[in-house]
């Protein structure tokens, strides 16, 4: 067994079967997770890689619980866990703070742990709870700029951990039988209600307030606490929806975030709060591997509706709009037409035109427009929630039903158009060859008349 880090006064190596009181649900759940990260190499490294931590082939991960640090600060805090990643002479360390059930992380607690991380030269603080974040680097708890300078702050939701473990088991990357058994048992444990792992279940109370203001014709300020809380909750729900799709499809589904916003969560919150205030919509873009296009989702407060859509280019090798549209319609033969619309985009900056899928199946010529040829199509699924839109739990339930249904009915059938590979052209006869052939033909005709053989 390797030596403990110098800054660690007390700490037990994480155990798969921790002996803890029934009241220590957080300690038991975290110990099992950390032990699996250490024992199942591919699983532990995949979680750390998602944080942007480099894990080479020879890197070794050690995990501890019941941690007491040499420099514990004024309050002598005891972090829930500690990660130590050793790669040659390089060592990366992270404190771990975990919450289960309805317990939530608080700014005051995190600030205290960041302070002792700074005192002990620890690189990061990883938090795990049932709170969701769109990216591991975007923390669900807002911290001051001074706190964020003390150590890197990262976050996993328990549902994310469970999803990653499930994907690892389904991928076949873990070949060792014992490691597969260990990881499978962790999945079984985290899936049980007693573990305290929860999905995102409802929007905050401010959701109903914002919806009421918009639908009554009022205005909302992008700087208000209610707007920012709603946008933050939307981030958590879209992340949870990613995990739901990942488990259903067996592939890692992610939210697409602009590059500028990926490194600046404050700018992202400000931008989306402005869109909610001015356009009364919340937007998200989901990336599913190997699909024809990303999935755009919009929650429209004015229309009390959810929209899901995918946009593809029209096939350039077909000359008319009808022929191009038939290419798309053939892909949607098995799709239910209810609430599905096709938008056609035209050359230039003119507006798109839209028709129900059911109509275009019967009469695709209805899409023709003044001799123009459509350049792209967008398949849109619109679901009017009515009063359920303002209901915090019902909105989540309807959204988590609508998006997987859209993917099943539309997304998995769409294929992007690709031009055909060029074909080899037959070689043209050279001028000399043509002359030779002509002379031979002429000689053959003359020989026929003289009844003599041709060499």
Per-residue pLDDT of 208-245, as tens digits, reads 999 999 999 999 999 999 999 999 999 999 999 999 99
CA distance 178 to 175: 9
Query: To the nearest whole percent, how much of the chain has pLDDT over 90?
Result: 64
Condensed to tens digits (0 to 9), the pLDDT of residues 355-397 reads 999 999 999 999 987 788 999 999 999 999 999 999 999 999 9
Q: Which residue, 249, 309, 269, 251, is CA-closest to 285? A: 309
pLDDT higher than threshold 60 for residue 452: no
Q: Give the E-state strand segments of 314-367 in sequence order.
A: 340-345, 353-356
CA distance 93 to 124: 7
pLDDT higher than threshold 80 for residue 438: no
Beta carbons of 170 and 187 less than 8 angstroms apart: no
Q: Which residue, 263, 359, 218, is CA-closest to 52? A: 263
Question: In Å, how far are 278, 328, 336, 338 from 377, measured between CA atoms?
Answer: 27, 8, 18, 18
CA distance 87 to 119: 23
Q: Which residue, 149, 189, 183, 185, is CA-closest to 167? A: 183
Tell me whether residue 145 is exposed, middle or buried, using C-beta atoms within 10 angstroms of its C-beta: 0 to 12, 13 to 18, 19 or more: exposed
Under DSSP, the state recorded for 42 is H
* pTM of structure: 0.79
- pLDDT reported for residue 196: 83
- pLDDT reported for residue 455: 44
The pLDDT of 143-164, averaged and rounded, is 92
What average pLDDT does the chain have?
88
Is the sign of the CA dihedral 129, 132, 136, 142 positive or negative?
negative
Under DSSP, the state recorded for 455 is -
Give the highest mean pLDDT range of 110-119, 259-268, 429-438. 110-119
Which one has a higher pLDDT value, 333 or 1? 333
How far does Cα 207 stand from its chain's mean position?
23
CA distance 371 to 259: 40
pLDDT higher than threshold 80 for residue 23: no
The pLDDT of 435-440, averaged and rounded, is 53
Question: In Å, how far are 67, 81, 94, 110 from 124, measured between CA atoms?
Answer: 15, 12, 4, 11
- pLDDT reported for residue 440: 56
Question: In Å, how far are 258, 283, 314, 389, 416 from 227, measured between CA atoms?
Answer: 21, 14, 38, 16, 37
Tell me whether residue 194 is exposed, middle or buried, using C-beta atoms within 10 angstroms of its C-beta: 0 to 12, 13 to 18, 19 or more: exposed
Query: Domains of the chain: which residue ranges?
Result: 8-195, 205-411
The pLDDT of 312-324, averaged and rounded, is 94
pLDDT higher than threshold 70 for residue 128: yes
Condensed to tens digits (0 to 9), the pLDDT of residues 395-434 reads 999 999 999 999 999 999 999 998 888 889 887 655 555 5
Beta carbons of 30 and 98 less than 8 angstroms apart: yes
Q: Which residue, 402, 407, 379, is CA-closest to 389? A: 402
- pLDDT reported for residue 454: 44
pLDDT higher than threshold 60 for residue 195: yes
Condensed to tens digits (0 to 9), the pLDDT of residues 269-317 reads 999 999 999 999 999 999 999 999 999 999 999 999 999 999 999 999 9
Which two structure tokens, joined as six digits, stand for 221?
A: 């300020």
pLDDT higher than threshold 70 for residue 80: yes
Phi-psi region of 435 (alpha: psi -120 to 50; beta: other; left: phi over 0): alpha
């Amino acid at each position: 067994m390797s030596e403990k880090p110098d800054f660690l006064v007390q700490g037990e190596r994480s155990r798969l079967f921790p002996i803890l009181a029934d009241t220590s649900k957080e300690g038991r759940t975290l110990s099992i997770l950390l032990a699996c990260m250490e024992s199942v190499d591919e699983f532990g490294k995949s979680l750390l890689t998602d944080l942007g931590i480099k894990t080479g082939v020879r890197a070794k991960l050690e995990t501890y619980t019941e941690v007491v640090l040499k420099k514990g600060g004024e309050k002598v805090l005891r972090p829930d866990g500690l990660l130590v990643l050793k790669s040659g002479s390089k060592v990366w360390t992270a404190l771990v703070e975990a919450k289960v059930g309805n317990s939530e992380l608080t700014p005051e607690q995190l600030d205290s742990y960041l302070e002792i991380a700074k005192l002990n030269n620890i690189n990061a603080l990883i938090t795990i709870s049932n709170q969701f974040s769109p990216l591991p680097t975007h923390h669900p708890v807002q911290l001051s700029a001074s706190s964020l300078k003390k150590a890197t702050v990262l976050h996993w939701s328990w549902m994310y951990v469970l999803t990653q473990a499930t994907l690892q088991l389904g991928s076949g990357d873990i070949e060792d039988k014992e490691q597969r058994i260990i990881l499978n048992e962790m999945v079984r444990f985290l899936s049980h209600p007693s573990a305290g792992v929860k999905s995102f279940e409802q929007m905050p109370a401010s959701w109903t307030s914002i919806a009421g203001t918009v639908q009554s014709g009022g205005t909302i300020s992008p700087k208000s606490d209610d707007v920012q809380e709603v946008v933050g909750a939307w981030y958590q729900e879209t992340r949870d929806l990613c995990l739901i799709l990942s488990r259903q499809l067996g592939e890692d589904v992610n939210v697409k975030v602009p590059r500028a916003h990926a490194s600046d969560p404050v700018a992202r919150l400000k931008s989306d709060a402005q869109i909610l205030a001015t356009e009364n919509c919340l937007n998200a873009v989901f990336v599913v591997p190997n699909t024809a296009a990303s999935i755009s989702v919009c929650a429209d407060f004015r229309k009390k509706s959810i929209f899901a859509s995918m946009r593809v280019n029209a096939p350039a090798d077909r000359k008319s709009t009808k022929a191009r549209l038939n290419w798309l319609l053939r892909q949607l033969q098995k799709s239910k037409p209810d609430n599905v619309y096709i938008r056609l985009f035209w050359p230039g900056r003119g507006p798109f035109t839209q028709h129900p899928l059911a109509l275009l199946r019967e009469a695709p010529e209805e899409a023709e427009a003044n001799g123009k040829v459509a350049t792209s199509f967008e398949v849109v699924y619109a679901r009017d929630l009515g009063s359920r839109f303002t209901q915090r739990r019902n909105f989540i339930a309807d959204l988590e039903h609508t998006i997987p249904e859209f993917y099943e009915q539309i997304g998995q059938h769409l294929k992007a158009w690709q031009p055909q590979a060029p074909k080899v052209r037959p070689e043209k006869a050279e001028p000399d060859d043509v002359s030779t052939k002509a002379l031979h033909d002429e000689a053959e005709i003359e020989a026929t008349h003289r009844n003599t053989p041709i060499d």
